[in-house]
Structure 1
Amino acid sequence: MNNATVIRHLAFEDLGTLESALHQHNYKIKYVEAGINNIIGIDANTDLLIVLGGPIGAYDEQDYPFIVDELHLLEHRLQADLPTLGICLGAQLMARSLGAKVYPGDYKEIGWSPLELSVEGMNSPLAHLAAEHTFVLHWHGDTFDLPTDSTHLAASSKYQNQAFSWGKCGLALQFHPEVTACGLERWFIGHACEISTTSSVRVAQLRQDTARYAKQLEQQAAKLWQAWLESL
């Protein structure tokens, strides 16, 4: 059995659809709670490291010192080309650990929209998200520059850098392919303050779009996860 270590920053931002794919590929899952558990103690050679999302910035180590530990861990893994996945904040941390700049964007991107895949993206597991009527969830205010020597995979209508790969085994996703319709109800509660202070975002619209797009994403994301795990 392989080991998958998952760094989680918020209890309700979990693996979602990725969990069942990991079980199908015989991974034993261990969550490490940022700010509570010891990130330094994570085995740098764990079979698979997954860093999930959260509302803090990848540059906020003065307030959240554990970010330094995450960056050191990611730097080691990416230099060694060990299987590593970052989602949203996790992708931003991957970019920073590779020397790229992470910074506040011009506006928040919260809601459902399709991806625009590069040629390389269409030749990657992300191609499963290019299927007709497949929208993904975006939920971020920060963005990042593309790391040197990485491969750009996807953009959105608002942000150019939505996904990149690193080496053979590193994948960074600014968007959220892991989410489920049921799980997002917890997001609507947990991110209530951010929603209420973002003028273009309303819970009613998020819920309506989730009902429209989440099922298709769940189906296509399952194919994405299977393809990516098989490539490792």
Structure 2
Amino acid sequence: MRVHWLQHAPEDDLGCIAPWLAARGHMVTRTGLYEGGPLPALSGFDALLVMGGAMNVDEEAVHPWLVAEKAFLRAVLADPGKRVLGICLGAQLIAEQLGGSVGRNRETEVGWFDVQLTEAGRGFDALSEWPSSMPFFHWHGDAFDLPAGATRLAYSAACDQQAYSYDDGRVVCLQFHPEVTSASVRVWLEHPQTHPAPGPFVQAAGAMRQDIAKFAAANRLLVSLLDRWLDLNRVV
């Protein structure tokens, strides 16, 4: 399958998704939006991955490429033959293009916190190997409202909307970061501009990286989702 991905900042990469794509033999292309990279023709890919970034969806004056990206996402979302996965900022951008709103969450959520599946999430085939509750890594201050027609799949104590699907699972979006590795988080912690203010759902920097097993478990669950979601013969 031809998979294209959108990168919003150099420190926000594919994480564990990169070796998964390579192992499955998918053809992978990329647009570095922060580099001024060109967006692909719709005919050039089958699935789109929209990754995270420290910017907000409304910062078009600071990041003018957001205007073109949003128009591109609207076109992709309107194409029933395209699969779309959004993570963190990607999930917010997709929600906005589907008619939802994005704004400050009631809490900044950074570090390892449990995500709970809704009843719909527990019945969603692509999440069939996921437990009802599982710690995942978070790094966000904003959050999305559920777009009309979307199905809420998960939530956390700090954020009511942690995951949703749209169009019978063709579109899947996650507010949290199952793709990150310990190395990913180390890079994020080296960027002072991304450090959040202390809060009840902001974990100490050392605690974010100390349990390597959590990264491995989260990565395995993301891989199980991806294997099912990209299998076009399955009904998700």
TM-score under structure 2 length normalisation: 0.88
Q: Which residue of 2 aligns with 1:90?
A: 90
**Aligned counterparts of 1:20 and 1:194: Cα–Cα separation in 2:** 26
Deviates more, 1:66-75 or 1:197-206: 197-206
**Aligned counterparts of 1:181 and 1:157: Cα–Cα separation in 2:** 24
Q: Which residue of 2 aligns with 1:43?
A: 41
Gapped runs of 5+ residues in structure 1?
Answer: none
Q: Is the contact between residue 21 and residue 226 of structure 1 (CA under 8 Å) also seen in structure 2?
A: no
Kindly provide the amino acid, as one letter, of the partner of residue 161 in structure 1. Answer: Q
Q: Which residue of 2 aligns with 1:30?
A: 29
Equivalent residue pairs, number: 227
Q: Once the two structures are superposed, what CA deviation does each residue of 1:186-231 show, in whole Å capped at 9, x if it has no partner?
A: 12213x34336435442112122x4352122122222222122224
**Aligned counterparts of 1:25 and 1:196: Cα–Cα separation in 2:** 36
Gapped runs of 5+ residues in structure 2?
Answer: none
2:171 maps to 1:170? yes
Please give the residue correspondences for 1:33-182 in structure 2 after superposition, counting only pairs within 5 Å: 33-39=32-38, 41-45=39-43, 46-81=45-80, 82-124=82-124, 125-130=126-131, 134-168=134-168, 169-182=170-183
Q: Which residue of 1 aligns with 2:207?
A: 205
**Aligned counterparts of 1:127 and 1:139: Cα–Cα separation in 2:** 25
CA RMSD of aligned residues (A): 2.0
Kindly provide the amino acid, as one letter, of the partner of residue 90 in structure 2. Answer: G
Q: Once the two structures are superposed, what CA deviation does each residue of 1:132-188 show, in whole Å capped at 9, x if it has no partner?
A: 7x4111110001110001111111111111111111411111111111123322122
Kindly provide the amino acid, as one letter, of the partner of residue 198 in structure 1. Answer: P
**Aligned counterparts of 1:135 and 1:216: Cα–Cα separation in 2:** 9
**Aligned counterparts of 1:228 and 1:29: Cα–Cα separation in 2:** 16
Q: Is the contact between residue 138 and residue 177 of structure 2 (CA under 8 Å) also seen in structure 1?
A: yes
Kindly provide the amino acid, as one letter, of the partner of residue 119 in structure 2. Answer: V
- The percentage of aligned residue pairs carrying the same residue is 29
Q: Which residue of 2 aligns with 1:219?
A: 220
3-state SS of 2:148 partner: coil
Kindly provide the amino acid, as one letter, of the partner of residue 187 in structure 2. Answer: R
